[in-house]
Amino acid sequence: EEQRSLLLSSSSCFSPPQGVRLSYGTAGFRADATLLQSTVYRIGILAALRALKMESSVTGIMITASHNKVTDNGVKVADPSGGMLSQDWEPFADALANAPTPQHLLQLITEFVKKEKIPLEGVRPATVLLGRDTRPSGESLLEAAKQGISSILGVAAVDMGIVTTPQLHWMVLARNKGLKAHELDYFEQLSSSFRCLIDLIPSEGRMSERDLKLVVDGANGVGGEKLEVLKTMLDNLFIEVRNSGKDEGVLNEGVGADFVQKEKVVPHGFGSQDIGLRCASLDGDADRLVYFCVPPSKGCSNIELVDGDKMLSLFAIFVKEQLHTLSKEIGENTGSNYQPRLGVVQTAYANGASTNFLKKLQLEVIFTPTGVKYLHEKAAEFDIGIYFEANGHGTILFSESFLCWLEARHEELSSASKGSEQETAALRLLAVSKLINQAVGDALSGLLLVEAILQHMGWSIHTWSELYQDLPSRQLKVKVVDRTAVVTANAERIVVRPPGIQEAINTETAKYPQGRSFIRPSGTEDVIRVYAEASTQEAADSLANSVAILVD
Ligand code: 16G
Ligand code: ZN
């Protein structure tokens, strides 16, 4: 009864916006910030219920609209695992957001609590961690989330302040493992595992000071701000942060990983003074990362882009090399028969050249639909699963059982053959598992891993970039009335509805050497996205255009 009246009174302060239907898309709710008060309040309720349902654990709420414009905002929930909200709760999120009155809302909650058997009374207190990016609207939305959380008895909200999306996910995971989960602990873990990887580099590989310099575009968002702190804890890497959000620039405007990856041009604040330097770009909430080089001459405006596919390739090469070393025999010791399963996960957007490259490395390549939750889930099926979207979101997941085995193996090796290449390989993999965010793709930890591996290999960004040559590609979007009319299968690589379209796409594609094209409904906008690649840029453009006409 107390619970009922609490919910009724608090929800009366948050009426949903008129005439808009919100849906928990690929990455939570996103809209113009002025529309989101009631949704965020309701997501506060959901995250609190989720924490109670999962045996009074810790869940999280992140308020961000990532790479979208500064006036937008959004909200998403981190599950106790640190990953995305379990997909079977998404319909409940939709229903909550769209309930027209407090009475409807209460009824929905009552039914859901019953159906899911969520314990409301006599339970241990649960916690929801709250975070937000640098958007000005974040402060009042965070208040709304707090109101939602505290309208569920037995659940406390803890405000982590302005954090990157991956930091918030990391904190949720750390708290549920009973570990320290403050921002300083995060920085500590990243910087110490980075140092560990650097210390394990064979001495002949050391780079010159100039090669240790990296210039980072912070998208005028939270990532740049955090990197300014993190970089002071690092030796052996000299980071200059631009677009850190401290000066004039606007969040995501002409800057950031999404802009750089889609437009293939240098972000604001970069130019001819950076020719020859290694550059990287974060997105607005620092869960995406791409690398790039400023083009050598004025006439050529296209940057040399090193995207998520190439990060995946770099990580895969390094991990595979360590696994190989680890499996080598040492003297009488026959090593171990255990063969950990290494797999990589991509989406249809992965450049065809990257998929070929990975297959040549004899890696198991799996495809999933677009969206972190799908990739993450697949990667988690391997002992070591590496996933990346071409747009720069990705990470490496290590299974608990593999890590246990690795710890034990390392113990064994360090007593039997300390300093052996096998022991060093084990140490490297352990360091990678601590450096790379196990909850979600993280631009800051990804950046440190890239830097450590480049130093380990003694590679320049060009050596890395030349692992393979990207096929020219083009992305277009077509505005449509009803994007749900397009239904895809086979990880979005085939259209099954409307009938006939796939055949027409096949006919167009067949006209181009190395042609590949697909369409899919966006999960975040009312558009159908078109992707095409072919052996030349002209061909890719022309294929994309003719496929776009089929959609119209
Ligand atoms: C969201 C997804 C991202 C995906 C993008 C596709 C998360 C955290 N983010 O930003 O992974 O690439 O949507 O957008 O899942 P689209 O469906 O509009 O093409
Ligand atoms: Zn993002």
* Ligand having the closest approach to the CA of 26: 1
Say how far apart CA 60 and CA 173 lie, in whole Å.
9
Please report which ligand is nearest the Cα atom of 281: 2
Distance of CA 154 to the CA centre of its chain: 31
To test the ligand 1 pocket, which listed residue (368, 524, 528) has its Cβ within 8 A of the most ligand atoms?
524
Q: How far apart are CA 255 and CA 134, in angstroms?
A: 15
**Distance between CA 382 and CA 253 in Å, rounded?**
38
Rounded to whole angstroms, how far apart are CA atoms 429 and 339?
15
Instruction: Give the confidence band of 111 by pLDDT, cuts at 50, 70, 90.
Output: very high
CA–CA separation, 380 vs 438, rounded Å? 10
Does position 330 have pLDDT exceeding 80, yes or no?
no
Give residue 301's pLDDT: 67
Structure tokens at 492: 């979005």
Mean pLDDT throughout 471-499?
A: 94
Which ligand sits closest to the CA of 524?
A: 1
User: Is the pLDDT higher at 173 or at 552?
Assistant: 173
φ, ψ for residue 199, nearest 5 deg: -65, -25
Ligand nearest to the Cα of 492, by number: 1
CA–chain centroid gap for 492, Å, is: 19
**pLDDT for 305:** 96
Residue with more model confidence, 401 or 121: 401
**Average of per-residue pLDDT across 364-368:** 97
- Position 78 scores a pLDDT of 97
> Does the pLDDT at position 75 exceed 80?
yes
- Smallest CA-to-CA distance from 251 within 136, 161, 130 is with 136
The pair phi, psi for residue 304, each rounded to 5°, is -90, 110
| Statement: 2-181 belongs to CATH 3.40.120.10 | yes
| Ligand 1 pocket by Cβ (under 6 Å) | 26-27, 66, 370-372, 389, 391, 393, 522-525, 529
Atom 4 of ligand 1 has which residue's CA nearest to it? Answer: 371
pLDDT tens digits for 301-311? Answer: 679 999 999 99
Please determine, for residue 332, whether its predicted confidence score (pLDDT) is greater than 60: no
**Number of the ligand 1 atom closest to the C-alpha atom of 76:** 8
Q: Are strands 473-479 and 527-533 parallel, antiparallel or unpaired?
A: antiparallel
Ligand 1 atom with minimal separation from the 347 CA: 12
**pLDDT confidence band for 19 (50 / 70 / 90):** confident
Neighbours of ion ligand 2 (CB under 5 A): 66, 283, 285, 287
- Ligand 1 midpoint to CA 328 (Å): 41
Q: Decide if pLDDT at 90 tops 60.
A: yes
Could you tell me which CATH number the domain at 473-551 has?
3.30.310.50
Interhelix angle 102-115/37-53, nearest 10 degrees: 20
CA-closest residue to ligand 1 atom 8: 27
Here the ipTM equals 0.98
Closest Cα to atom 19 of ligand 1: 522
Pick the closest to residue 319 from 213, 197, 411 (CA basis).
197
234 near 192, Cβ under 8 Å?
no
Read off the pLDDT of residues 403-433 as tens digits, 9 standing for 90 and up.
Answer: 999 999 999 999 988 899 999 999 999 999 9
Average pLDDT for the chain: 94
Q: Which residue's CA is the closest to the ligand 1 atom numbered 3?
A: 371
Which is the catalytic residue, given 10, 11, 66, 542? 66
Q: pLDDT tens digits, residue range 229-284?
A: 999 999 999 999 999 988 889 999 999 999 999 888 999 999 999 999 999 999 99
pLDDT at 300: 60
Mean pLDDT of 36-62: 96
CB 283 within 8 A of CB 223: yes
Angle of the 102-115 helix axis to the 90-98 helix axis, nearest 10? 160
Q: Mark whether 66 is an active-site residue.
A: yes
Index of the ligand 1 atom closest to the CA of residue 84: 8
For residue 284, how far is its CA from the centre of ligand 2 (angstroms)?
Answer: 6
User: What is the Å distance from ligand 1's center to 25 Cα?
Assistant: 9
More reliable by pLDDT, 26 or 434: 434
Question: 265 CB contacts (<8 Å, ≥6 apart)?
Answer: 259, 301, 302, 303
pLDDT at res. 82: 96
Closest atom of ligand 1 to 524 CA is 18
In the predicted model, is pLDDT for residue 299 greater than 70? no
Closest ligand to Cα 30: 1
**Ligand 1 atom nearest 521 alpha carbon:** 17
Q: How confident is the model at residue 336 (pLDDT cuts 50, 70, 90)?
A: low
Report whether pLDDT(217) > 90: yes
What distance in angstroms lies between residue 286's CA and the mean position of ligand 2's atoms? 6
pLDDT score, position 525: 82
Pocket test for ligand 1, best of 24, 372, 375, 528 (most atoms within 8 A of CB): 372
Q: Tell me the CA–centroid distance for residue 388 and ligand 1, in Å.
A: 12
Please state the rounded mean pLDDT for residues 168-186: 97
Question: Is residue 207 pLDDT above 80, yes or no?
Answer: no
Question: Can you tell me the distance from the alpha carbon of 400 to that of 513, in angstroms, rounded to the nearest whole number?
Answer: 44
Rounded to the nearest angstrom, the distance between the alpha carbon of 256 and the centre of ligand 2 is 10
Q: Tokens 């960004």 belong to which residue?
A: 461
Using most ligand atoms within 8 A of CB, pick from 85, 393, 527 the residue to mutate for ligand 1: 393
- In the chain, count of helices (H) and strands (E)? 18, 19
Question: What residue segments make up the domains of the chain, in order of their start?
Answer: 2-181, 182-470, 473-551
Q: What is the pLDDT of residues 229-243, one digit of tens each?
A: 999 999 999 999 999
Strand partners, 58: 127
Instruction: Report the pLDDT value the prediction gives residue 140, as an integer from 0 to 100.
Output: 97
What pLDDT score was predicted for residue 524? Answer: 82
Ligand 1 atom 9 nearest Cα: 27
Ligand 1: which of 23, 24, 26 to mutate, judged by most atoms within 8 Å of the beta carbon?
26
In this chain, the answer to whether the domains covering 2-181 and 473-551 adopt an identical fold is: no
Q: What is the CA(497)–ligand 2 centre distance, in A?
A: 30
Contact 443, 223 (CB under 8 A): yes
Expressed in angstroms and rounded, the spacing between residue 543 Cα and the centre of ligand 2 is 29
Query: Can you tell me which atom of ligand 1 is nearest the CA of 349?
Result: 12
| CA of 177 relative to ligand 1 center, distance in Å | 28
Residue 204 scores a pLDDT above 80: no
Residue nearest to atom 16 of ligand 1 (CA): 522
